[in-house]
Amino acid sequence: DIQMTQSPSSLSASVGDRVTITCQASQDISNCLNWYQQKPGKPPKLLIYDASNLKTGVPSRFSGSESGTDFTFTISSLQPEDIATYYCQQYDHLPWTFGQGTKVEIK
Amino acid sequence: QLQLQESGPGLVKPSETLSLTCTVSGGSISNFYWTWIRQPPGKGLEWIGYISHTGSTNYNPSLESRVSISVDTSKNQFSLYLSSVTAADTAVYYCATWVPNWFDPWGQGTLVIVSS
């Protein structure tokens, strides 16, 4: 299985801060990576697909990028409604696997 | 727009079979792939498997010996069966659409507790 190592596991930032989450794949997955947002008691929601493409309707403060097997998810200006857990997910190889999640809180 | 809704027992006894159904509305099940994903309380996400409308399946090897997914196109439903459950199978179970290549949308999820 491809292991997705996501970091940090949690972070606390102030409103307006730039927030960065990383996901490292255990082997090459090309750009086959998605990012999801999960709020408490709710299902995950797709934010970014194919590493860097923003789903229609998702605020532009969310973005994604890739460099080899390292993937970065960024919130350019953290908003109160962004409090959630974020997951990366690879689909280059079955079984599809997720990162462990990053819980984002407001400082 | 597609909507998915899980249904089934919220409590299953150890060693028995967990059975859940996902009803798809707002579109035909004869498109895309249909998946199950689970999330133990306070933990991360685990992909269980998928089925296509033609019935082709693929399962996570970690569960393959115990899992089965079926589809009923006449009812726009697909179902999950997980046998010989233990407490480790306690989780929120989500159904989701695999629109190559992402999960979207998801159902609201249903909590299944394995306990006697």
Q: How far is B31 from chain A (nearest CA, A)?
A: 19
Question: Cα(B102)–Cα(B84) distance, rounded to whole angstroms?
Answer: 30
pLDDT the model gives residue B53 = 86
Question: Cα(A83)–Cα(A70) distance, rounded to whole angstroms?
Answer: 24
Predicted confidence band at A63 (pLDDT cuts at 50, 70, 90)? very high
pLDDT of B109 higher than 90? yes
Q: How far is B26 from chain A (nearest CA, A)?
A: 18
The model's pLDDT over B10-54, given as tens digits with 9 standing for 90+, comes to 999 999 999 999 999 999 898 899 999 999 999 999 999 999 988
pLDDT of B116 higher than 90? yes
Predicted confidence band at A25 (pLDDT cuts at 50, 70, 90)? very high
The mean pLDDT value for A18-31 works out to 97
The model's pLDDT over B75-91, given as tens digits with 9 standing for 90+, comes to 999 999 999 999 999 99
Q: Is residue B85 a contact partner of residue B14, using CB atoms and an 8 Å limit?
A: yes
Q: How far is B15 from chain A (nearest CA, A)?
A: 25
Q: Is residue A43 a contact partner of residue A85, using CB atoms and an 8 Å limit?
A: no
Predicted confidence band at A88 (pLDDT cuts at 50, 70, 90)? very high
pLDDT of B100 higher than 90? no
Chain A residues touching B103 at Cβ < 8 A? 34, 36, 44, 46, 89
Q: Inter-chain contact B61–A42, Cβ cutoff 8 Å?
A: no
Q: Inter-chain contact B103–A34, Cβ cutoff 8 Å?
A: yes
pLDDT of A38 higher than 90? yes
pLDDT of A37 higher than 90? yes
Question: Cα(B29)–Cα(B27) distance, rounded to whole angstroms?
Answer: 7
pLDDT of A67 higher than 90? yes
pLDDT the model gives residue B31 = 85
pLDDT the model gives residue B97 = 96
Question: Cα(A3)–Cα(A100) distance, rounded to whole angstroms?
Answer: 10
Across all residues in chain A, what is the average pLDDT? 98
